Structure 1
Amino acid sequence: MTEQIRDRASRSLPTASVRHGRLKRHSAWKTLLAVLGGTMAVVLVSGVSVAAIAVNQLNENIDVVELVTAEGEERVIPTVGEWEGGFNVLLVGVDNAEGQSDGDDRGGAVLNDVNILVHVAEDQQSAVAVSIPRDMVVPIPSCPNPEGGSYFAMSAQPINVAMSYGGLSCVVLTVEALTGLDIPYAGVISFDGVARMSSAVGGVDVCVDGPIFDEFTGLDLPEAGTYSLEGRQALAFLRSRKGVGDGSDLGRISSQQVYLSSLIRKVQSEGVLTDVTKLYGIATVATSSMKLSSSLASVDTMVSMALVLKDIPTENITFVQYPGTTGGTGVYSGKVQPIEWQASALLEKIRNDESFALQEGETGIGSALNPNAPAPEPTTPAPTGSAAPTVPPLADEEPAEVLEGVKGQTAADYTCSVAN
């Protein structure tokens, strides 16, 4: 019989239109996974682009982790190249990673503090990235213990303790149970890796609506405006909780989406993915900074993903926050409580690859639309003599359903972080 192990952590708690599905293709960016989770997955495309130059060296850099089922068996996963449809990837940023530069100043278990589930639609014309709050209290299923046996299932724990129970496999199993989506691919990056990745892409421009000083992360942006962040400052921005919104994890997520949407636009507009020198540098940093599931640590898989993603336009890439609220009682005291009806509506749309729209301006408590955003570029030439460009509507397209209360933005939206 499988031995049940009780881990110590189990004792710690008692309308901007967003298009998904079958939409008209446009020329666009060449990577979604290259920007999510504080640039956690830049390797997925950059590694592909430089594979012909140094594929063996890059592969040697990759630290591989095996994903297992709840029974502890290795997952049988086909390569993406055999698929014609979509796929799901879980991107995880960890706290207290082994070898982290500030490890002596920190303590405790390794926690999965950033959890972003990327879903690419079956028709490969849209993608959704769902950020799950680290403090959200969820059921954690029984997870295999890497040293043998398994841990008890738990009905109510913060999701960020999953990593301390059964590693990346436990995080994947937990998110699968929460969302009802199969997740065959996953990657992990440490805080140090996030800092190095932001420098590898040449910095990311972020807008803030006022001065932000966060003594806990070291972020110091003295006035409102736009800053180019890289290295430890980029990491401080992505980690900042007390400095943005209402000081909660929910505010931090919407502030992170300011960074991620800007990063997508950067790699599109500045030719990052067509510059071999930049790509090689990014890929080298990425492959040496991440742990990838064996299903993902393959050039063939990365090539296939890049080919799927290269034509998805920014307006069809949506960042959303898993619906949740603070101020609860009992096991939710001081944590995030899921808003179940909102989450059900969102996940049903995602699972069925159905179009949905977000309420205009509902970017989240840590961000707001940038009043100085540039005018959107027309997708068709302006008629001769016209005062403004016109864009004809897509034929036979039904209005997307608005998901009430769901927070987020598209990669095409220009937003600013809201100072606390």
Structure 2
Amino acid sequence: MLRGIAISLAVLILGTAGAGYLYYLHLNGNIKKGQRNSGESGVKKADANADGQTPLNILLIGSDSRNSAANLKLGGHKESVGSKPLADVQMLIHLSADRKSASVVSIPRDTRVDIPKCTDPDTGEKYPAKNTVINESLGRGGPGCTLATWQNLTGVYIDHWMMIDFAGVVKMADAVGGVDVCVKQNVWDRPLPRVSGGSGLKMKAGTRKVKGEQALQWLRTRHAFYSDLGRAKAQHMYMNSMIRTLKSQNGFTDVGRLTDLAEAATKSLKVSEEIGTVKKLYDLGAQLKTVPTSRFTMTTMPTVQDPLDDDHLVAAPADADKVWAMVRDDVSFDKGGKDGKSGSASGSPGPTATATGPAATPAGTLAVTVVNGTGGEGVAAVGQRATAVAGVLQGKGFTRALASATPDPQTRTLVTYAKSSGAQGKADALSVAAALGVPSGQVRASADVTALTLTVGADWRSGAAYPKQSAPKAGDLPESADAVHGADTGDCMDVYKPYRF
């Protein structure tokens, strides 16, 4: 219920705030800092393009911490004081290498993921890897653990993180002076007889300006907007509206407004230590400020219902992969950018790709279990598919490759290695993937397997080599990403009927 949204504003604001040296020191003193990465993650930074430019990725985190009087007053119960905070809002801002477009991807808080082994940099407490909902990552090693979780899930190297809490959102919203939002029907997000909680948002239909605590209520509203997915869309609308508001009001050159915003931002934010000065934030803001409003695109990672828990979500295999491939390949979410390079989608470094590591075990001594996963969802499995692919591997020198008699339906092909085998297991898995043309982004570590396993999915029903993936095209987002564009001024939220008045 945290508003990571205010964070991106802070970056934009600080990019133009000018002050004397003493004021500069004052603002620096406001900023709280933390370790960039506190978890196990080996994703490398993207290579530079032909002009020597690299993308910039910033993770925005909204903490639900109630461990202050101000935060407790704005939401939650006294019983929650002292508990570990949850990262209830998480968004990745991707600034293109040419600095001409920006993409934002949210992940709903109740999405089940693999959280890696993390160490809290403040207390030294160590947390083992855990498969659970992503918002728990913040309490298992701080923002640096959330960053590591994202990197492992997406294969995207994240340069920095920024975090804000309830009270910080209110300060930022007040400093902005109000942002226009819209609902199609009167809304009152309140407790109902069988549904507890609610943000308290109450407003009449149409476009209204919200600020301060009401802005926080808008950003926290979930039930009235149907779900966490609806809430994410409302957040994206707010972010786009905020950017448009600042530009229309000359908010980037008004010294008085900038001073207020700079004070609010530096007092509200906690950032990764490598950007923990006004000068560093200025540099970031100068880059973000160049992106036209029309080329900001807000999305949510496509998800499906978690088969293990109806109240949770998991990444939608094909659509989520496409979104992250576009981010990794620096393909713009709007149609104004360039398409990906031919073949780049299949060759993109995935979540397990690292810059260095041990050499792979010789193919002739490496045991590989091949599983037939070509069936599922009303489609019959291809007979003897595991045997056929095992034969292909044997012909490439993996003489110990054997077909499993147990099917395991999967929508896409995966190479999985035992998490306990570490860097050596990864190197071995990547060698199998390379031999068959399987993208490195489809190599995974798992605590559920003991042997190197190739699962031939429904995306590879025939042929000796994995089908080459088409290059991603600019603006070719899956519909399930629920994109909201910066120039869309007519967007309005639909209100779930029980929360209308």
Q: TM-score range by the shorter chain?
A: 0.7 to 0.9
Alignment CA distance shift 1:280-1:243 (3 Å): same
> Quick one: distance in 2 between partners of 1:84 and 1:187?
23
Q: Which residues of structure 2 form unaligned runs of 5+? A: 46-51, 191-197, 336-472, 497-501
Letter in 2 for 1:410: H
Which residue is equivalent to 1:13? none
Structure 1 segment 124-203 matched on structure 2, within 5 A = 124-146=99-121, 147-148=123-124, 150-154=126-130, 156-203=131-178
Query: In 1, distance between residues paired with 2:236 and 2:492?
Result: 10
C-alpha spacing 1:226/1:112, structure 2 compared with 1 (3 Å): same
Residues 61 and 354 (structure 1 numbering): CA distance in 2 closer, same or farther, change over 3 Å?
same
**Structure 1 residues 176 and 402, CA, compared in 2 at 3 Å: closer, same or farther?**
closer
Structure 2 partner of 1:33: none
Show the counterpart of 2:200.
218
Match of 1:42 in 2: 9
Alignment of 1:281-300 (within 5 A): 281-300=260-279
Alignment match of 2:209 (pick from 225, 228, 240): 228
- Which structure carries more relative contact order (alpha carbon 8 Å, separation 6+)? 1
Shift, 1:249, TM fit: 0.7
1:86 is matched with which residue? 55
Distance in 2 between the 1:56 and 1:292 partners? 17
Map Cα deviations across residues 377-413 of structure 1 (whole Å, 9 max, x no partner): xxxxxxxxxxxxxxxxxxxxx8743534321211111
Cα distance, 1:162 vs. partner?
A: 0.5
What whole-Å deviation, never above 9, does each CA across 1:258-304 have from its counterpart, x for those lacking one? Answer: 21111111011111111000000011011111111111212332222
Aligned to 1:412: 487
- What CA distance in whole angstroms lies between the structure 1 residues aligned with 2:482 and 2:159? 26
Matched with 1:112 is: 87
Do the aligned residues in 2 keep the contact of 1:218 with 1:236 (CA within 8 Å)? yes
User: Aligned partner of 2:137: which letter?
Assistant: A
Q: Which whole-Å CA distance do the structure 2 matches of 1:100 and 1:49 have between them? A: 32
- Residue 56 of structure 1, aligned match among 9, 25, 42: 25
CA distance in structure 2 between the aligned counterparts of 1:411 and 1:106, rounded to whole angstroms: 40
Helix, strand or coil for the counterpart of 1:217? coil
Question: Is 1:204 the equivalent of 2:179?
Answer: yes
Gaps of 5+ in 1: 1-35, 77-82, 359-397
Structure 1 counterpart SS, 2:224: coil
Shift of 1:228: 0.7
Which residue identity lines up with residue 99 of structure 1 in the other structure? S
The question of whether the paired residues in 2 share the 8 Å contact of 1:41 and 1:286 is answered with: no
What corresponds to 1:271 in structure 2? 250
Per-residue CA shift, 1:129-167, capped at 9, x if unaligned?
Answer: 11110111111111113333521112x311000011111
The amino acid across from 2:307 in the alignment is T
**SS where residue 253 of structure 1 aligns?**
helix
1:89 Cα deviation from its structure 2 partner: 0.6
Q: Retained in 2: the 8 A contact 1:49–1:276?
A: no
Shift in Å, 1:43: 2.6
Task: Give the equivalent residue in structure 2 for 1:403.
Answer: 478
Mapped contact 2:115–2:137 kept (Cα < 8 A): yes
Partners of 2:38 and 2:142 within 8 A in 1: no
Q: In structure 1, what residue type is equivalent to 2:10?
A: V
Structure 1 residue 356, shift from structure 2 partner? 4.3
Name the CA shift for 1:322/1:100 in 2 (closer, same or farther; >3 Å): farther
**Alpha carbons of structure 1 residues 70 and 48: separation in structure 2 relative to 1, 3 Å:** same
Kindly tell me the number of residue pairs found equivalent between the two proteins. Answer: 333
Structure 2 letter corresponding to 1:56:
L
**Equivalent residue for 1:348?**
325
Note the C-alpha offset of 1:58: 0.5
Amino acid at match of 2:70: S
Q: For the residues of structure 1 that align with 2:481 and 2:292, how far apart are their CA atoms?
A: 21
* Amino acid of the structure 2 residue aligned with 1:412: A
Distance of 1:64 and 1:408 partners within structure 2? 32
The one-letter amino acid paired with 2:201 is L
Q: Deviations over 1:77-120 (max 9, x none)?
A: xxxxxx84321111101002431525363513210000011111
Deviations for 1:16-37, whole angstroms, at most 9, x for unmatched residues?
xxxxxxxxxxxxxxxxxxxx82
Counterpart AA for 1:408: A
